[in-house]
Amino acid sequence: MPVPPRTPLRLRPFRAVRYDADRVGDPSALLSPPYDDLGPAHARELRRLPHHIARLLHARDPQAATRELQRWVRRGVLRRDEQSALYLYQQQRGARILQRGLIGDLLLPQDSTEAAGRVMPHEDVSTAVIRQRAAHMAVTRAQLEPLLLAYRGTGSTAAQAMERISRRMPLLAARIGEITHTLWACDDEEDIALVTSGLSGGEALIADGHHRHAAFLHLRGEDEHPWGSCLALLVDSATHPLRLSAIHRVLPGLEPEKAAVAAAEVAHVQPLPSGLRPPEPGELILVGAGQAWTITDPDPRALGGALAGHPQEWAVLPAAVSDHLLIRLAWSVPDLPGAVRYVHDVGRAAEAVAAPGTGSALLLPAMSEDTVWELARDGVLLPRKSTSFGPKPVAGLALHVFGLS
């Protein structure tokens, strides 16, 4: 039987709700890192600022966030664009373009029969977090930040059209640290057809936003409108490759020398007299109190027991070995808040446990993007906190708010 052709991804124009620079001035100080990249203390600090997007994203009470969102719209702090558009979004440091992609309203397929392309998750999700995100969206009737999706474009036409649009006057240019974030509107039908031509490959990988994607599907099961689509940033990873890095584990209550001894019962452990270095493929590095060990070659029997009930592909995944073989089995770290912290930078993870008595850090190697794509296509979900794709979009550039006149 012939294989049916892939259905293109459907990214549709929408009328974004954006900060009105005439009302708030330069919006740079009102934008925010993505939800998951903003720690509780930093979120509390930003929520003290009037009109900061963190006041909506990190509101404890969705009803309060809804009231504040409606006030901002009434007072003109936020305004809805007059015309529907796709939005070309670019992150740039100096002369180097870090990322360029399209923000739009992406139709989500509920099953394989729907003509809406294929959106592939690659990490497991938490039911509790899904419910929390779904409740926030359902009450606010808004999508405050886009999913980050990677796709592999089918030609150069879309990239050429984006380059041409990027030479026009932008809607917005915001500077945050060393990064300039720029937004252009694409509202011409011919331009829209050109910039979306690369989506004909029909599949996209969720690089960031797994819980929000799952929340959309959860809400759609209850009430299809308006949750049959989602706000998304699609980046052609063939033209602008996303950075893929590991997420490291910091264990404040684990003494490093004892951790090394326990790890030696289930894997090969060797001290690193030369000190800290990034882990290579196939190894984990344990650090703490100025010491470091390399952990390789897990015992097959111990690993098989630790991963019982999980896909066999997990046996070679760094996060599976880290979380199931070492943290849960060898070290018996309880699954309690604060027992494990997740840090994206090797240096910060090591710095957090540099002093005696501050615990241990387990450093993971990065996976290849090809491996992530292959497993996602096969329906194999990675353990949570396995990968970190970037750069991620800032929150607050273009919101999708329902029910506005």
Q: Is the pLDDT of residue 297 over 70?
A: yes
pLDDT at position 222: 65
pLDDT at position 70: 95
Is the separation of the CB atoms in 18 and 404 below 8 Å? no
Of 132, 26, 185, 62, the closest CA to residue 70 belongs to 62
pTM of the model: 0.90
d(CA 154, CA 51): 41
Is the separation of the CB atoms in 160 and 9 below 8 Å? no
Q: Is the pLDDT of residue 2 over 50?
A: no
pLDDT at position 43: 82
Residues 181-199: pLDDT tens digits?
999 999 999 999 999 999 9
Tell me what the mean pLDDT of segment 206-216 comes to: 93
Confidence of residue 320 (pLDDT cuts 50, 70, 90): very high
pLDDT at position 1: 43
* Token representation of residue 176: 């945050």
pLDDT at position 5: 58
d(CA 398, CA 103): 8
pLDDT at position 20: 95
pLDDT at position 110: 64
CB atoms within 10 A of CB 151: 25
pLDDT at position 3: 46
Residues 212-241: pLDDT tens digits?
999 998 898 766 667 889 999 999 999 999
Tell me what the mean pLDDT of segment 123-135 comes to: 91
pLDDT at position 275: 76
How many percent of the chain have pLDDT more than 90? 78
Residues 162-184: pLDDT tens digits?
999 999 999 999 999 899 999 99
Amino acid at 250: V
Element (H, E) at 56: helix 54-57
Residues 6-18: pLDDT tens digits?
688 999 999 999 9
In sequence order, what are the residues at sequence separation of 6 or more whose Cβ sits closer than 8 angstroms to the Cβ of residue 49?
29, 30, 55
Q: Is the pLDDT of residue 56 over 70?
A: yes
Identify the residue with better confidence: 382 or 156: 382
Is the separation of the CB atoms in 181 and 240 below 8 Å? no
* Token representation of residue 273: 């007299």
Q: Is the pLDDT of residue 71 over 60?
A: yes
d(CA 324, CA 260): 16
CB atoms within 10 A of CB 123: 18
* Token representation of residue 118: 């294929």
For the chain, the average pLDDT equals 91
pLDDT at position 391: 93
Residues 107-128: pLDDT tens digits?
987 654 455 678 999 998 889 9
Element (H, E) at 180: strand 179-186
d(CA 60, CA 200): 40
pLDDT at position 405: 57
∠ CA 86-79-187 to the nearest 5 degrees? 20
Is the separation of the CB atoms in 142 and 402 below 8 Å? yes
Tell me what the mean pLDDT of segment 325-340 comes to: 94
Residues 235-265: pLDDT tens digits?
999 999 999 999 999 999 999 999 999 999 9
Tell me what the mean pLDDT of segment 305-320 comes to: 96
Q: Give the CA radius of gyration of the chain.
A: 22
**Residue listed under structure tokens 């957090």:** 352
Burial 181-200 (b: 16+ CB within 10 A, else e): bbbbbbeeeebbebbbbbbb
CB atoms within 10 A of CB 233: 26
Confidence of residue 72 (pLDDT cuts 50, 70, 90): very high
How many percent of the chain have pLDDT more than 70? 95
Tell me what the mean pLDDT of segment 314-319 comes to: 96
Element (H, E) at 54: helix 54-57
